[in-house]
Amino acid sequence: MLIPPRGLRIAAAAYEVERLADRAAVAQKLDRWIADAAGLGADLLAFPEYAGMEAALAGTTGPADATTWCRRAAASADWLRQTCAALAARHGVHLLTGSLPTDAGGGLVNRAWLIVPDGAATPCDKRILTPWERRETPLVPGRAPVAIDTGLGRIGALICYDAEFPLLARRLSADILLVPSCTDLPAGDARVRVAARARALEGQAVVVQAPLLGAVPECPLVDANTGAAGIYAAPDAGWPDDGVLARGDCDRPGWTCADIAEGRIGAARRAAAVDVPGHWPESAADCADTAAGGREAP
């Protein structure tokens, strides 16, 4: 793969979670992964949902319930953020960290950080918890999703289940939308992939799915994981006919990369055959009328 001049290379991690000996081993693993992506020429990296649990798992033995693991993760969150910020600066990359339960002041949230090469970190929280998270964990909904403007474009993140709700993506108006995922069954991976591709179509954005792989049976948050990394765009002018920029093999750890030429996202939006973002207000107005008690004409 050639890196386009002044273009952008995005890397999605299919990342295998492990129970490592200590935090030093976690830092070494993260350094190795980030160095490998940087060596491939990647400018923007995305790690999966709950990949940050390795910081909480390190040096532990035996099983524990979900609440205990969430508390252990919260005690590890600052270390993970600081470690990833230092690595982003060392390797000169933008990256989305793996998420983990984090104390946000009003409770524990499922949080990742979007980190730029100078080490500045923007929290990215999961807003809508899955039924399992609501039932089995002490997690609470995080703050509304945010996007940041960078030299690579406007980048936002929706953690796993959040990607299935189009209004969350709509408010971000992102050029690049990162979707870290953690799913224990192929159907769950398929749901997130379908959601990622729908968000690409609706927002005429590039959407990146980074799945968690592997298993730590003693930790209910990461006891079984499956998926395939993917990078998607709208199936429209300027992109592949099917909108698939890159797709990794299912359950195969490693980086999946895609190249975006300079100005490609803006040019593709201008040349597109359809304009879902531009016509969205028409749909929203119809939905508001229906919600207010109106009915569609037969």
- Per-residue pLDDT of 228-257, as tens digits, reads 999 999 999 999 999 999 999 999 999 999
Burial 258-275 (b: 16+ CB within 10 A, else e): bbbeeebbeebbeebeee
Give the count of beta carbons closer than 10 Å to the beta carbon of residue 281: 9
Asked if 96 and 47 count as a contact pair (C-beta separation under 8 A), the reply is: yes
Q: For the chain, what are the domain ranges? A: 8-291
pLDDT for residue 141 = 98
pLDDT for residue 172 = 96
Which residues, including other chains, have CB under 8 Å from residue 96's CB and lie 6 or more apart?
45, 46, 47, 112, 113, 114, 115, 124, 157, 178, 180, 210
Question: Cα(298)–Cα(164) distance, rounded to whole angstroms?
Answer: 29
Answer yes or no: is pLDDT of 1 > 70.
no
Could you report the per-residue pLDDT of 162-179, keeping only the tens digit for each? Answer: 999 999 999 999 999 999
Of 159, 207, 206, which is closest to residue 181 (Cα–Cα)? 159
- Whether CATH 2.60.40.1260 fits 8-291: no
What length does the chain have?
A: 298
The pLDDT of 143-158, averaged and rounded, is 96
Q: 2-6, 94-98, 114-118, 208-212: which range is least confident on average?
A: 2-6
Using a cut of 0.85, tell me whether the model's pTM lies above it: yes
Element at 39 (helix H, strand E): helix 23-39
**Average pLDDT over all residues of the chain:** 94
DSSP string, 217-263: TT-GGGSSBB---EEE--SSTTS-TT-EEEEPPTT--EEEEEEE-TT
pLDDT for residue 298 = 38
pLDDT for residue 3 = 42
Please, how many CA atoms are within 13 Å of residue 206, restricted to the half-sphere of its CB? Answer: 31
Any idea of the CA torsion for 70, 117, 257, 17, to the nearest 10 degrees? -20
Answer yes or no: is pLDDT of 2 > 50.
no
Which residues, including other chains, have CB under 8 Å from residue 241's CB and lie 6 or more apart?
235
Could you report the per-residue pLDDT of 42-65, keeping only the tens digit for each? Answer: 999 999 999 999 999 999 999 999
Which residues, including other chains, have CB under 8 Å from residue 202's CB and lie 6 or more apart?
166, 169, 170, 276, 277, 280
Is the torsion defined by CA of 18, 112, 173, 91 positive or negative?
negative
